[in-house]
Structure 1
Amino acid sequence: MSGDRHFTTADGCRIAYRIDGPDDRPVLALSNSIATNLHMWDRSMPALTRSFRVLRYDTRGHGGSDAPVGAYSMDRLGRDVVELLDHLAIDRAHFLGLSLGGFIGQWLAIFAPDRIDRLILSNTAPYLASELPFDDQIRAALAAPDMNGIADGFMRNWFPAAMLAAPNDIVDEFRNMVLTTPPRGLAGCYAALRDVDLRRVISLIAAPTLVIGGESDTVTRARHSADIAATITDAKLVLLPGVHILNVELADRFNREVARFLALSAT
């Protein structure tokens, strides 16, 4: 199966998804950073589909998915994934989430542990509300005449200065993802991040877990990754010399770490 498809959640939200790779391989679900869509993983597909049936989806409020008005919750974002797995009759999957997707991965491993095999949490944190002004960001997203200023801020947080100093196809691609994100979808997911605190409950995660962090990440900092890895029993920590969108900034190293960790499930 390939090409974008849709299903509708229990609360009436239409979610876009696609599946690539051989039908007979284990499923690896990918979950995106805020203000991006499932195409943030395009450059990873050749590497990942060699061994996995890769499921990607657009978080509600983003890409080809609906953007309901109002605050979203991490519970709702997590249940979107559970309902997608149900829709596709997928009992269990490996799960790789980056940034907001990493929050969703933590939620799934805590509250739907029977659905997750191996868990990879990249450039994420269990709690950010004390460090980021989410209410201000919500107001700014809903009031902005366009997304240009917001996109500029994301680019500075996501990529190293060297990638921003000259024309860059990757940066242009990600900037366009921000520009095409509905403001109410961005605001809804900001609310989910504002209201969630997983610091204590991630100690309940039993899935084998790899935590990947960026040494120069200024949002989900390396210490957030280290704290997650220290709290989840037997979690492995890998810090890479990059910023936030490590799956493209350091694609080869990122893909190797992911493939090496997931290969352990077959041994």
Structure 2
Amino acid sequence: MCGVSEPVELHHRVDGPPDAPVVVLAGPLGTTLDVWAPQAAALANRFRVLRIDLRGHGDSPVPEPPYRMADLAGDALAVLDALDIERAAWCGLSLGGMVCLCVASEQPQRVSRLVLSSTTAGFPDAAPWRDRIAAVAAGGTAAVADSVVSRWFTPGYAAAHPAEVDTVREMVVGTDDSGYLGCCQAVEVWDHRARLGAVTAPTLVIGGAHDASTPVQLHTAPLAEHIPGARLEVLDAAHLANVEQEQEFNRLVAEHLS
């Protein structure tokens, strides 16, 4: 992998038996490891669950941008190295899915199984990312929080669960502006489509039927089509399927990792 900076020491949390199989959880742009709370609670009785705050997020360091996806992947691998974990299952959502995909294709010996949710191997049109970078540069993460989070949940779920939606919005607003920008820059230039065939781990791809951020036909379905042996499951959710369809998401992930 070829990044543009040295790895940083990520904030992380480990739950579950110390001798259980390890699963790494990496989350969306603008969130903290707490976005995985429903999965940690469900998986920690059978797995050693390792949640990470990506660089520029949560309690992790905020190196000077720009970043590249290989930098974020290198950070995550450095956590495993520090914990003396050679191989793990990896589960990523949105930006976290891109990080997991980068690891799985470039360091396949480190990945036993792979779950990619609401993510992509690249955005054909980078203009929306340039617009978001400009908006955050001018007004901080608060300038984009409402528009971003409104696409992450279906209207019905948002109306019925305002506290959950507000919690996620506060994560976005609380993300360091420079860290958010750096990760946006990594996504802006991310194009891993030519590397999908290098993934060797058994792969589950999860899409949201109502996901406007990474629509199934444009993003998750092509992942399942081009990653050898991958299968696609589509849930009745928008972008954060792990929150909106918590029980079904947890069931699919646990079955795939077992």
CA distance in 1, matches of 2:161, 2:12: 30
Question: Is 1:100 the counterpart of 2:90 in the alignment?
Answer: no
Question: Is 1:28 the counterpart of 2:26 in the alignment?
Answer: no
Runs of 4+ in 1 over 2 A off after TM superposition: 10-14, 146-149, 163-167
Unmatched segments (≥5 aa) in structure 1: 1-9
Tell me, yes or no, if the aligned pair for 1:152 and 1:175 is still in contact at 8 Å.
yes
CA distance in 1, matches of 2:127, 2:241: 21
Question: Is 1:113 the counterpart of 2:113 in the alignment?
Answer: no
RMSD: 1.4
Matched residue, 1:5? none
Unmatched segments (≥5 aa) in structure 2: none
CA distance in 2, matches of 1:212, 1:131: 23
Question: Is 1:218 the counterpart of 2:212 in the alignment?
Answer: yes
Cα distance change on mapping 1:203 and 1:180 into 2, 3 Å: same
Query: Once the 2 structures are TM-superposed, how far is the Cα of residue 234 of structure 1 from its aligned partner?
Result: 0.8
Equivalent residue for 2:181, pick from 184, 187, 211 = 187
Tell me, yes or no, if the aligned pair for 2:7 and 2:71 is still in contact at 8 Å.
no
Tell me, yes or no, if the aligned pair for 1:48 and 1:259 is still in contact at 8 Å.
yes
SS at match of 1:239: strand
TM-score, structure 2 normalization: 0.94
Decide which moves more: 20-29 or 164-173: 164-173
SS at match of 2:62: coil
1:79-133 alpha-carbon deviations (Å, 9 max, x no partner): 1111111111001000000000110111001111111000000000100151552
Count of aligned positions: 253
Tell me, yes or no, if the aligned pair for 2:64 and 2:178 is still in contact at 8 Å.
yes
Question: Is 1:125 the counterpart of 2:125 in the alignment?
Answer: no
| Percent identical residues | 39
Query: Once the 2 structures are TM-superposed, how far is the Cα of residue 14 of structure 1 from its aligned partner?
Result: 3.6
CA distance in 2, matches of 1:71, 1:175: 24
Matched residue, 1:162? 156
CA distance in 1, matches of 2:190, 2:103: 13
SS at match of 1:219: coil
CA distance in 2, matches of 1:30, 1:95: 6
Query: Once the 2 structures are TM-superposed, how far is the Cα of residue 12 of structure 1 from its aligned partner?
Result: 6.4
Query: Once the 2 structures are TM-superposed, how far is the Cα of residue 41 of structure 1 from its aligned partner?
Result: 0.6
SS at match of 1:165: helix
